[in-house]
Amino acid sequence: MRWSKERRELTPASRRPSRRRLVAAVGFAAAILLASTLLLYSVPEEKRITIYSNAANYSLPVLERNGDEYVGLLEVFEPLGPVSAKPNGVHWKFRYYEVESEFTAGKTRARIHGADYDLPSNFLLENGRGLVPLSCLGTLMPRILGGPVTFNQNSRRLFVGNVAVHFTAQVNKTTPPKLVMNFTAPVNPTIATSPGELRMAFNHEAVVAPGSQALTFDSKIIPSASFQESNGAADVVVAATVPLMASFANNGRTIIIEPVPQAPAPSQTQTPIPRPPTSASSATPASGTIAPAGIRHYFAVVDPSHGGDERGASLTDQIAEKDVTLAFARRLRQELETRGLATLLLRDNDATLSLDQRASLTNSAHPAIYICIHAASQGKGVRVYTGLVPPDAENHGPFLSWDAAQSAFQLSSRSAEANLVKDLQNKQIPARSLIAALRPLNNITTTALAVEVAPPSDDVSQLNSPAYQQLIASAVAAGVASFRDKLEAGR
């Protein structure tokens, strides 16, 4: 009796601390989860402006300076025609065709084609790069271009001339109902589905809103759609009560959206394209019927060299080459994709990939160009390399020697190298072309280049500067885009 009494008294007392520990552990886990969620959602999206023109549709990063939004003026005009810029102390001379302009760092007054022009806030000069306030583009660009532009500053979408793509949407009362959207030009949106909606993101097309941003249809299955635009892109979101799929017709001018058939879909035959271990590439763009996933044909493969245990060069005590190459490669992918060039990043995290794995992944993807990224503390600017193919490799019939797989593409690689270097030099970026025994260039069965990025000055930490990385990535992407036809032909 005494024992049992003691036990009755002891048992609850001994459990109390473990319950407390349990509550504390649950509370701690919840706090970690909450903090992670907040952190995840609080990462700001990179601001961008998209410019649509007859020459090209392209997207540029918007920079925050002194509380205002700025954009690089040279990058804005570069795809539109011949441009040049020359910094001279605090002055920055800019030329587009025959139109000359002069800006002064820290001043709002500028001279455009012989007339004064006042910027809403100061002109900025950073490493020879001229930045103008974003809000002035609507008035500044017509003065330089000599033609009208339409700038929606809230959504950061700018239309040069009459390039807008309009569309109509109506639901056909068939069984099941179909939403037919007709566009005035071919479109190729990125399509994503989630329960209750199908979202089409128009990142490269100058799609504008129909009369109303909210569309309603006389259908219970597809009752409405809405047009939204923000951060340089336009989205059309179709609401539905059932899962939807999209298909294209009329050479990309028509998109038909209909419910997914209930019967099990026929099995798909897939080309065995190996994907990188954890590629966080953007959503698969639409091409034909949008099924759960599609095979993407990549124009470019970008390979951030090193990674994981293999750090590459120690650029400073804190900066490892593998981190700089990854950051730069991500920017390059973004820049290539904004120019409509589908790009595969071979590693999008700190993964270890062998040189053979990099070559195999690239050759399986059959891209038009392979670009390997390196970074170095020696020298300045950019060095572009093609591979030095070993001489003693022998091909056996259709089987290419692994060490000399590049030999059939050397001419194309050298031509791409020369074009890219010339393009970079035209943009005042020190660039040099070289041949190097650098694997896996000699194992690649397409046009293959290595780009070694060196700092702009003696300050090696500049390699980590987002502005410098963006400048080089944008220039390299523009260079690649300028000879895309040749690359496609050589594929």
Partner 1 sequence: MIPRHLLIGVAILLAATLGMSVYVWQMRSRVHRTEVSSLNTQPVAPPVSGATERVTLYVAYDDAGVLRPQQVHVQLPAGRQERAAELLRALLTLYLDKSSPHPLGAGSEIRDVYLVDPGLAVIDLNAAFADNHRSGVLVEELTVVSLIQTLSANIPGITRVKILVEGNERDTLAGHADLSNFYDVPAITQTVAQLQSAQ
Q: Kindly indicate which of the ranges 57-65, 127-135, 338-346, 429-437 contains the residues binding partner 1, using the contact rule CB under 8 A.
A: 429-437
Q: Which two tokens stand for residue 355?
A: 């040189």
Question: CB-wise, 186 or 430, nearer to partner 1?
Answer: 430
| Among the listed residues 166, 253, 439, 491, the single contact to partner 1 using CB under 8 A | 439
Q: How far is the CB of 281 from partner 1 (least distance, A)?
A: 27
| Interacting positions 321-340 with partner 1 (CB under 8 A) | 321
Q: How far is the CB of 358 from partner 1 (least distance, A)?
A: 13
Q: How far is the CB of 325 from partner 1 (least distance, A)?
A: 12
Question: CB-wise, 59 or 305, nearer to partner 1?
Answer: 305
Tracing tokens 């399986």 back to the chain, one arrives at 364
Could you write out the DSSP letters of every residue in 120-173?
SS-BEEETTEEEEEGGGHHHHHHHHHSS-EEEETTTTEEEESS-PBPEEEEEE-
Q: Kindly indicate which of the ranges 28-36, 166-174, 280-288, 433-441 contains the residues binding partner 1, using the contact rule CB under 8 A.
A: 433-441
Question: CB-wise, 297 or 432, nearer to partner 1?
Answer: 432
Q: Kindly indicate which of the ranges 228-236, 308-316, 358-366, 457-465 contains the residues binding partner 1, using the contact rule CB under 8 A.
A: 308-316
Q: How far is the CB of 403 from partner 1 (least distance, A)?
A: 6
- x-or-dash string of contact with partner 1, 277-306, rule CB under 8 A: -----------------------------x
Q: What is the DSSP letter of 281?
A: P
| Bridge partners for 64 per DSSP | 69
Buried b vs exposed e over 126-156: b needs ≥16 C-beta within 10 Å? beebbbbbbbbbeebbeebbeeebbbbeebb
Strands (E), 354-421: 369-375, 382-387
Q: How far is the CB of 429 from partner 1 (least distance, A)?
A: 13
Using the rule CB under 8 A, is 308 a contact of partner 1?
no
Distance (Å, whole) CA 485 – CA 343 = 16
Using the rule CB under 8 A, is 460 a contact of partner 1?
no
Q: Which two tokens stand for residue 205?
A: 């097309």
Q: How far is the CB of 309 from partner 1 (least distance, A)?
A: 12
- x-or-dash string of contact with partner 1, 358-397, rule CB under 8 A: ----------------x-xxxx---x-x--xxxxx-----
Question: CB-wise, 95 or 432, nearer to partner 1?
Answer: 432
Distance (Å, whole) CA 325 – CA 463 = 10
Using the rule CB under 8 A, is 312 a contact of partner 1?
yes
Q: How far is the CB of 331 from partner 1 (least distance, A)?
A: 20
Give the H/E segment covering residue 434: strand 431-436
Q: How far is the CB of 311 from partner 1 (least distance, A)?
A: 8
Q: What is the DSSP letter of 114?
A: T
Total residues contacting partner 1 by CB under 8 A comes to: 31
Question: CB-wise, 203 or 433, nearer to partner 1?
Answer: 433
Please give the C-alpha separations between residue 474 and each of 122, 231, 245, 415, 418, in angstroms, as whole numbers.
24, 18, 35, 20, 18
Residue 395: count of CB within 10 angstroms of its CB: 12
Q: How far is the CB of 35 from partner 1 (least distance, A)?
A: 38
| Among the listed residues 26, 90, 437, 489, the single contact to partner 1 using CB under 8 A | 437
Distance (Å, whole) CA 94 – CA 130 = 9
In one-letter notation, the amino acid at residue 127 is: N
Q: How far is the CB of 378 from partner 1 (least distance, A)?
A: 5
Is residue 102 within 8 Å of residue 111, measured between CB atoms?
Answer: yes
Using the rule CB under 8 A, is 310 a contact of partner 1?
yes
Using the rule CB under 8 A, is 427 a contact of partner 1?
no
Strands (E), 154-305: 157-160, 167-172, 178-183, 190-194, 197-202, 214-216, 224-230, 233-239, 244-249, 254-259, 300-304
- Give the residues lining the site for partner 1 (CB under 8 A): 306, 310, 312-314, 321, 355, 374, 376-379, 383, 385, 388-392, 403, 432-439, 442, 450, 452
